[in-house]
Amino acid sequence: MTLGDRLDAATGHLPAPLAVVDLDALEANASDLVARAAGTPVRVASKSVRVRAVLDAVLARPGFAGVMAYSVREAVWLAREGVTDVLVGYPSVDTGGLDELAADPVAAAAVTLMVDDVAQADLAAKAAAAHGSALRVCLDVDASLRVGLGRLRAHLGVRRSPVHTPDDAAALAHAVVQRDGLSVRGVMFYEAQVAGMPDSSAAVRAVKRLSVRDLARRRGLVVDAVSQVTGERLELVNSGGSGSVETSVSDPTVTEVTAGSGLFVPTLFDHYRSFEPRPAAFFGLDVVRVPAPGFATTFGGGYVASGPPTASRQPRPVWPAGLALTPREGAGEVQTPLRVPARADLRIGDRVWFRHAKSGEVMERFDRVHLVRGEAVERTVPTYRGEGRTFG
């Protein structure tokens, strides 16, 4: 039975648009991440999931430990729901969220904030002082690759943190520990140019190799520099992403890796060589028009991923086979026209299955997701949005 037939059998009685997660694929992907981590704990990136029931199920599996949240308020919520180790993956200037964190002893004990600037640390320290609490922070260290000679230099990777060198990290750590109520728990390196780029060309693979070599040297120097400031060994050295698990864990300095997209495997992860992609998340739309031979229109579908506005950010129809978005209209908020090969013969009422370009983001468009095993819905659970939670 094909994927489309199986999803149709499981959800044919349910109205579209609808989101599904294939549990067999999800569990295989989770096992693959743990195997690739080779004993190093895997922290789950919540922004790539955004379904608390799925987060809980993954965290219950051996090899996974903790969540990387993308919002302070999300982190507080997860801590109150029982997650005991939440690392906020991005700096925050949400003073209300920081105040809520500092006022809650359970959340303050579970959550680690991210900083890459003294101004962010000042806001956290102010919240801690207001409630007499202690907050832990992690330093976000730029993991991009800088190459060149003299003044001719290139920055390969995302523009993320201003902290790049061991001296940069030590200076920020010193500033943090000088502030009452704050302590440095660890450091994070996200090598986006390794973890977030498919192996699409020889040039990309060369950049990845150079980046891995640079980080193998620089990461340890940064950790040593920050440890000298704190006076103790860092508890947390976070690195990597779904596309760089193997290279991150090869460094003995790393205490954990983060992965999220490797669970659902969106289309942007189809061309990695480091793992076997098993798509696990889909959404279904129903055909509502057949405007002309070779075309069909589905209801909904404008779930375009963040990032540069290119074709790679659009959802992709995957079943029936051979369908394609039309270049002039693409995926529309209310309707999505498709080019249909003659063999597909779509009719009004037929269902089309799509994959999203980025993991997790599509869940912002649905209040529930159906967890499918085989040809049946095992259970239906709320997304973050279904629980009344949106975090930007």
* Exposed/middle/buried for residue 386 (C-beta within 10 Å: 0-12, 13-18, 19+): middle
Above 90 in pLDDT, residue 323?
A: yes
The more confidently predicted of residues 195 and 375 is 375
109-121, pLDDT tens digit by residue?
999 999 999 999 9
390 pLDDT band, cuts 50/70/90, is very high
Average pLDDT (86-100) is 98
CA distance 48 to 259: 8
The more confidently predicted of residues 151 and 40 is 40
206 pLDDT band, cuts 50/70/90, is low
270 pLDDT band, cuts 50/70/90, is confident
* Exposed/middle/buried for residue 2 (C-beta within 10 Å: 0-12, 13-18, 19+): exposed
Above 70 in pLDDT, residue 366?
A: yes
- Write out the two tokens for 355: 């994959």
Residue 192 to residues 136, 216, 361, 365, 374, Cα–Cα distance (Å) = 25, 15, 18, 26, 35
Residue 183: beta bridge partners? 136
Above 90 in pLDDT, residue 350?
A: yes
**Cα end-to-end span (Å), the chain:** 39
Please state, rounded to an integer, the average pLDDT across all residues of the chain.
Answer: 91
CA distance 53 to 49: 10
214-267, pLDDT tens digit by residue?
787 888 899 999 999 999 999 999 998 888 898 889 899 999 999 999 999 999
Average pLDDT (302-327) is 93
Q: What share of the chain is helix, strand, coil (3-state, %, to 5)?
A: 35, 25, 40
72-84, pLDDT tens digit by residue?
999 999 999 999 9
Above 80 in pLDDT, residue 316?
A: yes
Q: What is the pLDDT of residue 392?
A: 81
The pTM of the full predicted model, rounded to 2 decimals, is 0.92
153-175, pLDDT tens digit by residue?
665 566 788 898 999 999 999 99
- The DSSP annotation for 111-137 comes to EEEEESSHHHHHHHHHHHHHHT--EEE
Alpha helices, DSSP H, located in the chain: 3-11, 23-37, 52-59, 72-80, 95-103, 105-110, 118-131, 166-177, 192-195, 202-230, 245-249, 261-264
The SS3 assignment for 368 reads strand
Q: What is the pLDDT of residue 241?
A: 84
CA distance 275 to 102: 40
Cis upstream peptide for 17 (omega within 30°): yes
- The DSSP annotation for 152-187 comes to EEEEES----S--SHHHHHHHHHHHHTSTTEEEEEE
CB–CB of 375/330 below 8 Å?
no
275 pLDDT band, cuts 50/70/90, is confident
The more confidently predicted of residues 149 and 383 is 383
Q: What is the pLDDT of residue 153?
A: 63
Average pLDDT (82-100) is 98
Q: What is the pLDDT of residue 208?
A: 64
Average pLDDT (184-188) is 97
271: region left, alpha or beta (phi > 0 left; psi from -120 to 50 alpha) = alpha
The SS3 assignment for 339 reads strand
Residue 70 to residues 73, 153, 197, 259, 385, Cα–Cα distance (Å) = 9, 31, 20, 13, 15
The SS3 assignment for 260 reads coil
For residue 391, what is the DSSP state? -
CA distance 223 to 185: 11
Above 80 in pLDDT, residue 137?
A: yes
Residue type, position 296, single letter: A
CB–CB of 39/308 below 8 Å?
no
Cis upstream peptide for 277 (omega within 30°): no
CA distance 32 to 211: 24
CA distance 19 to 49: 12
355 pLDDT band, cuts 50/70/90, is very high
Above 90 in pLDDT, residue 337?
A: yes
CA distance 200 to 220: 29
- Give the chain's domains with CATH numbers: 23-264 (3.20.20.10), 281-383 (2.40.37.20)
